[in-house]
Structure 1
C-alpha cells in the first residue's frame, strides 16, 4: 500500500489502493511519483509552489520504508483555491533528519490540469555507498561523509589517532590522543618554551610533548624538579632562581635567632645569613634570682627571664652566685670568686666525726633521712631504726623489718621501705610504740623513697620503687585518728628499680636495671606530667653498658644526677644527658657507686662499695674527702655544710663545720 500526500486547503494523508487511483470527482490533479535509489533517505519531502505568487507554498513529509535503499513514493496534489495553474513541484531528500542538509533535489514546472490526473515523475540521486546514513561530500548537494567507502568514518564517529579523520572534523586535531609538541634540543623531555608548538597525534623524534624548558641547551635544566644548584640560575624554569630548597632571598631567622636572609654558601648549600651580632644569654635554673646556665649566643631572648648578665657559677644550688652570697665552709664557691671556702680558717680545722651508733657494731644501716639541721633518721637491717638529734640517739623499740629506704617529712615523721615490700612510719616522740606498717601490695624490696607534703593539709604522700619494678605510693594523713588508706601501685616496669627522686609527684625519676640476654643494663624513666605514660630516658650510653643505676637526685627542674655501677655518673641538664668522668680510685679500681648526695653542679658526694672512701666531685674531677673505718651504704645531710654517711657495723660519720 502506498501513502499519498495531497496538497489542498490543508496537508492531508490518504490511503489508496494501487498506484493509479482517482479522486471521487473528475476534478484535475497532479500525481507525483518520487523515485530514489542507492541510499536510504532519513527524510523525504514534497513541496508545491505557485510560480506567479511564490509566497504560496505547501509542503509535507513523505513516509519512506527505512529498510529500502531504492523505492518509489506517490503523492497527489489537488487544486488550491486562489492558486494559479502555474506550479513548481519540488522533491528533496535530507541527511540525518528533515533539518539536515539536502543531499538530493529535483523540481519540475507544470500546469495544473482542469480535470483528470496528470502524472509527474521526480528522480532523486545521492551516494551513501558504505550505507552508514551519511552521504558523500560531492555533487550539487554534498553530504557530510568525508569517506563514503568506510562505514566507521562519518560525522559523530569517535576520533582516534589512527591517521584517519574519523568524524570528518578538522582532520585528527580533535582526537583525544592528539597532543601539542615542542622542539627539544637537549633531549631532557621538555620542549623549548620560546618555540611555537606543533600539533599531532604523536611527537616526532627531537620533540617533546611538554613545554617550559628555559634552557634547551642544558639537559639538567627543565621544569618538574627542585632547584639543585645554588648559583643564581633557574634550574626548574619556574621563573625564580635558587628557590625551593635554597629559598635564596627569603627572610629567615638563624639558629641564634638573628633576622636575616637566605644566601648561597656553595653550589649545594644555602643558609640564613644575618648582619646582626648575637650575644650570650643565661638562665636562672635554680631559682635564686641569679642567672648562670648558658643558653648560647642569640639575637633575641631565647626564653622568658633570660638575661645577658652571668651572675651565677653553679645553677644547681641557691647557695652560690656572684651577688648577695658570702663564702661559708661547705666545699662550694659560694661567692663565685674562684676559690672553694676561700681559705676560711674555721673550715680548715673541720674534720669528719665518726662513731658507732648506740655502740652497736652488729648494726647495718642502709638508709639515712634528714629533716632538720642535725636531725634525721637511720634505718637498716634487723629492725634497726634510730632517731638522731645532734649527739642524742634514740632507737625505735618495735619496728621489725629489714629497712632498705627512708624519707623524713619536715615535721620529723619518717617513712620506711622494707625488703619484703612493706611501708612503715614513726615519729620522734613515738619510738616506744610499734611502727605503723602497711603492705605495698607487691613482694619486692622497696629500695628507694621520696615524699611530698601537701601544703594545705597534714597529708604526706611517699613514692617508692621496688626490685620487682613497681612504683608504689602511700598517702598518710598525719592528723587523722583513724586507720590510714592502703598504698597503691602506680605502675610497673620490667626492671629492678633501685631509687626514686623528684621535686614533685609530677616530676619523678626512677632508676635501676633491666635484664637483656642475661645481662643487666642501666635504665631510667620519668613520670608523666599529664596522662599515665612514663617516658623512658635516652641516657646516651653505649648499648654494651652493663650494671645498675643505683641512685638519682633531682636538683632543679632542669638538672639531675644519676650514679651507678662501674663508676658511672650521668648528668641531665635541660633535657640533655651527658656522662661525667668515671670514678677511678688508687690502683686503677673503678668502684660501683652505691649512693650520691648532690648540692649543686660543683658539690656531689658519692659512696662506693669496693672502697671505704667518701668521694667528692667538684664538677671537673673526683677527690677523696674522708676514709671511714667501715663501708658506707647511704648518704644524707641538711645542706652542703652538714653531710652524713652511714653503713656497716653501726657506722655514722658526719662532717659538720
Structure 2
C-alpha cells in the first residue's frame, strides 16, 4: 500500500503543524483513493475547510502511469487555524492537470481529535481504447468522440475517410478539403450571409459556391443577368437592374438625346432624356439648301443634317429659300408657299400644238429633249426632230416595228429603241440620210432607254425590255463599227421603263405575273462592286397591273406610276403611296407616261382621257385636254414640258 501525507502542499508534511501536548494518539484522516479502467495522467487531492473557504490545500498524487487500476493512500494531519470540518476531493484530469476533469468524488469528514478516521474516494472514467483520451459521456465527459477506436481522438490527424478523426468540426478541418456553403433554395449557390464549412464531400443542402444574396429564391443567384427590372439585385453583384437593363447608365435615345436608362415595366428598360429634340433637314437635291425632314433629334441624325429648313422641294434645284425670283414653271421657286406669283400672264400660257406643217396622222410613243424647245419624238416608224418651231423628219428610219423609247445626248444625238429589239441613232442635221440601226441581239421590245455620257465622249446606254432584260450598249462616236449590246441581267418581269441620274441610281419598272395576274414591280441597279439588280419592296401588295413610268430626280428621290392611277414616291429607302389619279367619274385610269421636275411638279397622261394631269405634291388637277390620246411626256425642265400621242398630236408648254 502506497502512503502519502497531506500538508500545505505535500502529503509528507503535517496538515495541522502542531502536536497535542498529551499522551493520547494524535488524530489523523486516512484517505484511500482508488481508480480503475484508466491511467490517470493527473490525479489531485484537494482538502478544504468548510468553515473557512480560504483554508484550502491541494496536492498532486503520484501514480504509476502504466497501471489501469490502483489505490493510493494518504494522511491528512491537523493544521493550525483550521476547523475540524473538512471536505476532501479526489479529481482526475485527461492527459494533463489543465485537461478536462474526467473523474471526481468528494466527501465531508470531521477531523478526529485522536485516532484515525478513514475515507474512501473511488474514481471511475472510461478510456476503453487506451488512447489517453476519455469517453465524451457521463457527468465528467472527456474529449474522445469514439472511445472504441484509438485512432479517433482530439490528437489524431483528420483525414477524408468519413470519420471525425480529431473529434472537432467533422471533416471540415481536413487539410486541402472543399469549402461548402448552405444552399437552402437549391440553386447551386450558397447563402452569402452564412459561414462556409469545409468537408470532404458535399453535405446535404450544400453548394460549392457562395455569394447567394437571397437563399430563399432559386431564381436569384450570381452568374446570370438581371431577371426583372424591379429595383432588386437578381444576380447578387450588389447592383440592382444592371445588365441587361443597365438602369442609371448613360445612354442615347433613338432621337440622339443624352439620357439615362430607366425601367419600362418589369421586363425592359429604355433610355429616358429630359432633352427636347428638334427637327433636322438634309439637302437631297444638291442645291446647297436643306428641306427633306429626317426627324426630330438632339443631334444631327445623318451626315449633313441641319436644323435650318431652307428648301421646300428636294426634287429640284430650282426651288429653295435662296432663290429670290419666281419663274413661270408651276414651282414655288422662292419657297414662300405661292406658285408663279407676280408673273403677269403666266397663268394664261397655253399648251401650243405642233408647229406647221404638222405631224400628220402618225402615232408618237416617245419624247426626249436636249434643250429648251429642242428635242425628238418617235413612234410608228416615224422620228422627228423639233427645234423650237421647225420640224426635221428623219427619213429611212424604219426598224420594221414601232419606236417605243428615246434618249438624247447633250449634243442632240438621239438614241431609239423599238418594239422588235432594234436600236437606232441619228444626229441633228443628219435627218435626211436616215438613222443608223443596231440589232440588240435579243428578242423583246425596248420600252425604256437611258444614257450616260462619259468623259471620253463615249455614251453608255441601258435599255429595259419586255423579256425582263437590262441591255447595255456602248456607243463610240465616229466608230465605223459599234460594239454589240450585251445583257447585264434578266429578271422575271415585263419591263416598260428605266431611268436614273447615274448608272448606280437606275430603276427599271414593269410587271410580274403572280398566279396569273400582273402585279407592279421595280428593280434597283446594283451598287458599285456588285452585279445583282435588287427587287424593290414597293409596299403595295394590293396593287395590280403594270408600272409604265419612272423618274429618278435625285439619288434619294424617285417616282413610279402605272395602272389604277398608282403613283409611288421613294424617299431614300422608303416607298410611299401618293394619292391616286381619280377622274371625275370616280375611275382611276392607267398612267401611260409620267415625268417629274420636282416633288411638286409631276405630269402624267392616261389611256382613258386626253387630259394632261398635274400633281403638286398633294392633289391632282387637269391642265389641258388634247385632241387625241397622249402616249408620252418629256421636257427639258419645268418651263418646257412636251406631250405627244395619236394622230400626230404634240403639245408643248413653254412659257417665255
TM-score (norm 2): 0.70
Distance in 2 (CA, whole Å) between partners of 1:538 and 1:163 is: 75
The answer to whether structure 1 residue 418 and structure 2 residue 418 are counterparts is yes
Give the match for residue 519 of structure 2.
521
Contact 1:190 1:213 in 2 (8 A): yes
Structure-to-structure mapping, 1:3-14, within 5 angstroms? none
Inter-CA distance 589–215: structure 2 relative to 1 (3 Å threshold):
same
Contact 2:521 2:538 in 1 (8 A): no
Give the match for residue 297 of structure 2.
298
Q: CA deviation at 1:568?
A: 1.1
Inter-CA distance 475–179: structure 2 relative to 1 (3 Å threshold):
same
Give the match for residue 123 of structure 1.
none
Structure-to-structure mapping, 1:93-492, within 5 angstroms? 181-198=180-197, 199=199, 201=201, 204=204, 206-208=205-207, 210-342=209-341, 344-355=343-354, 359-381=358-380, 383-401=381-399, 402-454=402-454, 456-478=455-477, 480-492=478-490
Q: CA deviation at 1:183?
A: 2.9
Q: CA deviation at 1:226?
A: 2.2
Inter-CA distance 481–462: structure 2 relative to 1 (3 Å threshold):
closer
Distance in 2 (CA, whole Å) between partners of 1:564 and 1:539 is: 16
Inter-CA distance 431–293: structure 2 relative to 1 (3 Å threshold):
same
Give the match for residue 556 of structure 1.
554
Q: CA deviation at 1:370?
A: 0.5
Contact 1:525 1:534 in 2 (8 A): no
Inter-CA distance 438–179: structure 2 relative to 1 (3 Å threshold):
farther
Inter-CA distance 163–575: structure 2 relative to 1 (3 Å threshold):
same
Give the match for residue 572 of structure 1.
570
Q: CA deviation at 1:413?
A: 0.1
Distance in 1 (CA, whole Å) between partners of 2:212 and 2:345 is: 85
Q: CA deviation at 1:219?
A: 4.3
Cα distance per residue 1:143-186 (max 9 Å; x no partner): xxxxxxxxxxxxxxxxxx99799xxxx999999xx976533334
Distance in 2 (CA, whole Å) between partners of 1:590 and 1:641 is: 28
Q: CA deviation at 1:260?
A: 2.7
Contact 2:549 2:595 in 1 (8 A): no
Give the match for residue 10 of structure 1.
none
User: Which is greater in Rg?
Assistant: 2
Give the match for residue 108 of structure 2.
none
Contact 2:517 2:544 in 1 (8 A): yes
Distance in 2 (CA, whole Å) between partners of 1:484 and 1:164 is: 102
Distance in 1 (CA, whole Å) between partners of 2:187 and 2:299 is: 47
SS of match in other structure, 1:623: strand
Inter-CA distance 445–357: structure 2 relative to 1 (3 Å threshold):
farther
Q: What residue ranges of structure 1 are gaps of 5+ in the alignment?
A: 1-137, 140-160
Structure 1, 354-363 or 584-593: larger mean CA deviation = 354-363
Contact 1:449 1:463 in 2 (8 A): yes
TM-score (norm 1): 0.70
Contact 1:379 1:404 in 2 (8 A): yes
SS of match in other structure, 1:432: helix
Q: Pick from 485, 496, 504 the counterpart of residue 506 of structure 1.
A: 504
Contact 2:524 2:533 in 1 (8 A): yes
Q: CA deviation at 1:593?
A: 1.2
SS of match in other structure, 1:506: helix
Distance in 2 (CA, whole Å) between partners of 1:486 and 1:570 is: 35
Contact 1:356 1:651 in 2 (8 A): no
Distance in 1 (CA, whole Å) between partners of 2:373 and 2:601 is: 20
Cα distance per residue 1:298-341 (max 9 Å; x no partner): 22233343222111111110111112331121111111111111
Inter-CA distance 527–164: structure 2 relative to 1 (3 Å threshold):
farther
Inter-CA distance 341–394: structure 2 relative to 1 (3 Å threshold):
same
Distance in 2 (CA, whole Å) between partners of 1:566 and 1:321 is: 33
Distance in 2 (CA, whole Å) between partners of 1:538 and 1:449 is: 20
Give the match for residue 613 of structure 2.
615
Give the match for residue 26 of structure 1.
none
SS of match in other structure, 2:429: helix
Inter-CA distance 575–180: structure 2 relative to 1 (3 Å threshold):
same
Equivalenced residues, count: 490
Q: CA deviation at 1:544?
A: 3.9
Q: CA deviation at 1:371?
A: 0.4
Cα distance per residue 1:372-430 (max 9 Å; x no partner): 1101000001x100111112112111000210000011101000001111111001211
Query: CA-atom RMSD, angstroms?
Result: 2.8
Structure 1, 409-418 or 524-533: larger mean CA deviation = 524-533
Give the match for residue 98 of structure 2.
none
SS of match in other structure, 1:599: strand
Cα distance per residue 1:480-499 (max 9 Å; x no partner): 25222221211111111111
Structure 1, 603-612 or 260-269: larger mean CA deviation = 260-269
